Structure 1
Amino acid sequence: MHHFRAPHARRFISASLMIGIAFIIFGLSFGVLAVSAGASVLQSCAMSLLIFTGASQMSAVSVIATGGSPASAFGGAVLLAGRNAVYGLAMAPVLRGGSLPSRLLGAQWVIDETTAVVSAETDPATRRTAFWISGAILYACWNLGTLLGALLGSSINPSDFGLDVAFPVMFTAMVASHLRTKQGRRAAIFGAIAAVALAPFMPIGLPILVSAFGMLFGLAPQSQENETAS
């Protein structure tokens, strides 16, 4: 039986809960936007249950809401979701050895935020536990937020209630634990510079994909960094 230390559990649970709060708020914004774009409550909730990729979902309904075609909405959503394939490679060791149903469910939960929570841990057993706990918390929070937003419909404006800040808050919580390491700081700096520099020149979504290459700066083994520091 695998064991992990309580301080580690508190760390990834608190990070998951912090991100989960942002998920509820951001999910609420998505639910409102989806219903405003013409989706029903059932369709909005089904999208979150089956896709569970906030940026792609928000991109798709935004395109539809502004008169874009379903094909362009689908293409943009797939492009934004492409980064999850990279995360899947990183999370493969965490899911390895499980049953087919558990791996299929795990694949659904491989997103930016669960990857960030897991990558802050080094012990394999703790990483596995962190993945499933963070995945369950964030999946529940995202779908709860979507349901609330869809039920409220167009009766609220997300910006009027400050709901538009949920995305920055969520990503701040994601990177906070990684800023303790040299690789994490390098990756964050590269990602920030790339996203800001490319935003005026590239279509929406592409700067984020390019900034994801910042993770390459964090691929060096953590033990090697510790040896260098000592």
Structure 2
Amino acid sequence: MKHRTTVETTQETPPQTALSSAALNSALNLSGGAASPSMPPARPRSVSSFISCTCLTAFLLRSVIRLYPHILPPLRASTVSPSVYFLYASSVLAFLYSESYKGFHLKFNQTYLTRSQRLPNLYKLPLLNILYSGGWVSSSKKRKITSWGITFGVAVLIAVSKRLSPLWRGVLDVGVVAGLSGAVVSLWMLWLGSVVKNETVGKGAEGY
């Protein structure tokens, strides 16, 4: 009886081991150990990724062009005090750090590139391309909140600037222009780096 029990136990072990292995492989896929079925393979040199970056660049530069004319009037006044130049310089530095570097370069642009390089065929039309790459659609809840939050934040800044005096509007707009321009430079630097190395950017898969 003891011998029979031992044989039966030994025969049942392989299916359990196989099940454990399958569970482990599934966990690795979900945690980023390999591409999961919901995440298409990366294509850093794809035309779709280039189009996606071009669409985002056009969107950001459109805002820059709209805001730029409001920067110059305070600087063309007959008497411009040094404090005005100080305010302008402070605004530029603040937005370059908070918006360009921390907001776009370290977070949004990296995820944007990762998603554009894993673009499903369904989203290859230009408008759907940018919506998918930016995480506005077909993304995790965290990514949707971040993407829509950035959009709302930029819209609020533009709306607020319209209600300010010419001087303070110029101070705010010069910062936004610097921040968005830096975001464009960051985007293409990351894209070029990924194309040269033929690999995705480092932290782009976070909050996919």
User: Normalization by structure 2: what TM-score?
Assistant: 0.37
Whichever structure has more helix as a proportion of its residues is 1
Q: State the structure with more CA Rg.
A: 2
User: Normalization by structure 1: what TM-score?
Assistant: 0.35
